[in-house]
Each structure stands twice: as structure tokens, then as C-alpha cells.
Amino acid sequence: MIVVTTPTGSIGHQALEHVIRAGAPVRVVARDPSRLPAEVHEHAEVVKGATNDPAALSEALTGADTVLWVMPPDPRAASIHAHVMDFTRPLCDAIAAQGVRRVVAVSSLGRTVARNAGQISAVFAMDSLIESTGVHYRSLAMPGFMENTLRQLEPIRSQGLFFGTLPPGRSAPTVATRDIAAVAARLLLDPEWTGQESVAVPGPEDLSSDDMARIMTEELGRPVAYRQISDEDLVASMTAHGMTRAWAQGIADMSAAVDAGLYDAEPYPDRATTTPTTFRQWCRDVLRPALGA
């Protein structure tokens, strides 16, 4: 039995589609099962509950061999570290109690070098806590998601602008969530792997924000430019939209860590084979339809 958490999330739902198509027995944990498509209700067992609910996790992991663990964000959390640990401890208890053999989890690149990296530092603490159970573990190590661009649909549409704190010429990797989901599904469906390792899921290329603006301009048929803003302006904007200062500062700290070389610590061979979706292709398949372009 495979268990998929966050089955309505951007990674969880796509990994679940792969598992269902493969015909593997699968169970999902969903806070609101009514949001699940009919196909999931038809082909998967559904456990109602949150993934920090010990009772729901115990039920979901009973008889399970492999789990896909995706940490749900909480922009209203007063503490990033406490939020991550409050979700991870019940998972670790359920792993031990139910004898789960394998866990695949969404983490980040840069584990060996991260310092004061906001949410990324917290997710590395999650990795360590899960590993302490002795479970066979694959930590999916990835950069920022291409889908993060969707948070800026309105300024792209109305102003032809998107914003960030990285210098405009600073190149960094990005990855499409569909590529993450495909790597996760391959691991979920493979009953042979053992041990504890990180698996790089880096995306096919490094691009600067100016590179991304150029590609969006070409693919959308309208001018798009990047504008760098300060950490202070980023935090002020996010808190004005209801995010806690701790969560907003964590996002600014993540960006600063990327600029300081978080994703530059090692080469990623065969990255275009492992994670083939380019930003240009993603713009065609996802961004352009989202904008109605």
C-alpha cells in the first residue's frame, strides 16, 4: 500500500495520478475529501484528516509500505520551525508504530551548505527527524518551483512585471512540479530501494530573473520585465496580505540563501533527463493558459 499526503496539492495530486495509472494500491490523507476528483474516490482509499493528526496518520499508515510526505505550508504560522516539527513528529510516531518501510519526502537542494535559509532550514530539520526513525528514506532535493510564478499572475497581467529579491542577473535553477511528481512516483512504485539518500531534482537549466522575463515575453506575446525589490519591501508586501512576519521573513531568507550560493554547491549531471520541463515549455503549458493568453 502506498500513502500519498496532500493529494490536492501541486505535487501530491500529480504523483497520485501516476500511482493510480500504474494500478498500485493507494491511500490518501485529505482534510476535505470533497475536493478530491471522482477518479481518486474510485481508485484510492480515502482517510479524512489533517497530516498532523496522529489518529488520521495512524489510520492512513496502517498496512502501508511507502509514504509520499509533502509538508503543507502555513503562511499564518507564528514559527516556521515549530510548524514543520508539529507536522513531522506525528509522522515519525506513525512510521514507528505501523512499521512503514519507505518514505519519499519533498525537501530542497543545498542541505550541506544551508544556513539561516528560512523554510529550507526547517525542512532540513524535517529530513533529520524522519531519518532518525531508521526508515528507508529518499529526500527529494529541489530548487524553487516554476509554479511560484503563478503567485504573480496579477502584476504580470496588469503591469507586465514580476518581482523578487534576487539580483536580475543571478542565475539559479527552477523545476516544474510535474517533474518532481514524476520522480516521486517512480520511487513510490519501486519496492526495492533501501537506505537513506537525497535525490537531486534540479530542473533542466539555470536561469536568471531577466532570462525568465525574456522567455515570458516571447511566449506570452507581451512585454514582461523583472523588478528587484528589497527584503524589507518583500516582507512588508507579504505581511500586508495576511502572512505572518516569521513566514514572510523566512521567504526573504530563502532568497538571500539562494543568492549566497545555496543551490551552487554541486553539479547535477543528467538534469535534463531527470527533470526535462524547461521554463519555456512550462510557460506554454501552464503560465499562458493561466493568464488566458
Inter-residue contact 108 to 222 (CB < 8 Å): no
Boundaries of domain holding 19: 2-146+176-200
Q: Is the pLDDT of residue 126 over 80?
A: yes
Q: How far is CA 119 from CA 85, 201, 266, in A?
A: 12, 18, 21
In whole angstroms, give the CA distance from residue 80 to residue 176.
24
Q: Is the pLDDT of residue 293 over 70?
A: no
Predicted confidence band of residue 113 (pLDDT cuts 50, 70, 90):
confident
- Asked if residue 69 is part of any domain, the answer here is yes
- Asked if residue 165 is part of any domain, the answer here is no
The three-state secondary structure class of 266 is coil
User: What predicted TM-score, i.e. pTM, was given to this entire model?
Assistant: 0.95
Highest-pLDDT range among 43-47, 108-112, 262-266 = 43-47
In whole angstroms, give the CA distance from residue 2 to residue 66.
5
Residue 114: which CATH number?
Answer: 3.40.50.720
In whole angstroms, give the CA distance from residue 222 to residue 288.
11
- Asked if residue 168 is part of any domain, the answer here is no
- Asked if residue 35 is part of any domain, the answer here is yes
Cell of 264: 551552487
Give the Cβ contact number of residue 242 at 10 Å.
10
- Asked if residue 124 is part of any domain, the answer here is yes
Predicted confidence band of residue 267 (pLDDT cuts 50, 70, 90):
confident
- Asked if residue 26 is part of any domain, the answer here is yes
Cell of 289: 493558459
The domain total for the chain is 1
pLDDT in tens, 142-181: 999 999 999 999 999 999 999 999 999 999 999 999 999 9
- Asked if residue 210 is part of any domain, the answer here is no
Residue-level pLDDT at 85? 96
- Asked if residue 18 is part of any domain, the answer here is yes
Residue-level pLDDT at 132? 97
What are all long-range contacts of 223-228, with beta carbons under 8 Å and residues at least 24 apart? 223/160, 224/156, 224/160, 224/161, 224/162, 225/160, 225/161, 226/161, 226/162, 226/163, 226/164, 226/168, 227/161, 227/162, 227/163, 228/163, 228/164, 228/165, 228/166, 228/167, 228/168
Cell of 258: 539562494
Inter-residue contact 49 to 101 (CB < 8 Å): no
State mean pLDDT over 238-258: 95
